[in-house]
Amino acid sequence: MKRLAALALIAPLITLPGCIIIDDSSAPIANDTGRVSRAGLSRIVAANTRNRIGEDRDTVLARYPDDNVSLIHSSVNAGGEEVAVYRVYARTSSTRFERYLVFEGGRLALLTDDRDDIASFVVPED
């Protein structure tokens, strides 16, 4: 009887416009972008701690699996140096890791997890 009463109270709410019930605990993942094992995620996090400002791009990027790194911006700054922004992204079913690596003249200039921090390095496109 209690179940029937609870259902009678909830049923009208389900039909209200804009009412959406989502349970993503068993929802399939749309794609495998950045998907790694827990051990893989641990290796990526450990690699991140070894980065130092001023290191060359090849050394820094070699620490990460290619599948977890993408170039998201490339331009030339006012001083004529190349500015390249890479995103390192990895996730397990419950954890996400994301870092942005900014290189000026082939050297690491900024390491951040806040995309807003890279705005001062990115030259607006005409």
Domain boundaries, the chain: 31-120
8 A C-beta contact, residue 71 and residue 86: yes
9 band by pLDDT with thresholds 50, 70 and 90? very low
User: How does pLDDT run across 10-52, given as a tens digit for each residue?
Assistant: 444 443 333 333 333 333 444 567 889 999 999 999 999 999 9
Q: Pick 31-120's CATH classification: 3.30.1330.200, 3.60.15.10, 3.10.450.730, 3.30.1490.70.
A: 3.10.450.730
Where would I find the H helices in 15-125?
A: 38-50, 57-61
User: How does pLDDT run across 51-90, given as a tens digit for each residue?
Assistant: 999 999 999 999 999 999 999 999 998 888 999 999 999 9
In angstroms, rounded to a whole number, what is the distance separating the alpha carbons of residues 89 and 36?
10
Query: What is this structure's pTM?
Result: 0.70
> How high is the pLDDT of residue 52?
97
In angstroms, rounded to a whole number, what is the distance separating the alpha carbons of residues 83 and 37?
31
The helix (run of H) or strand (run of E) holding residue 13 is helix 2-14
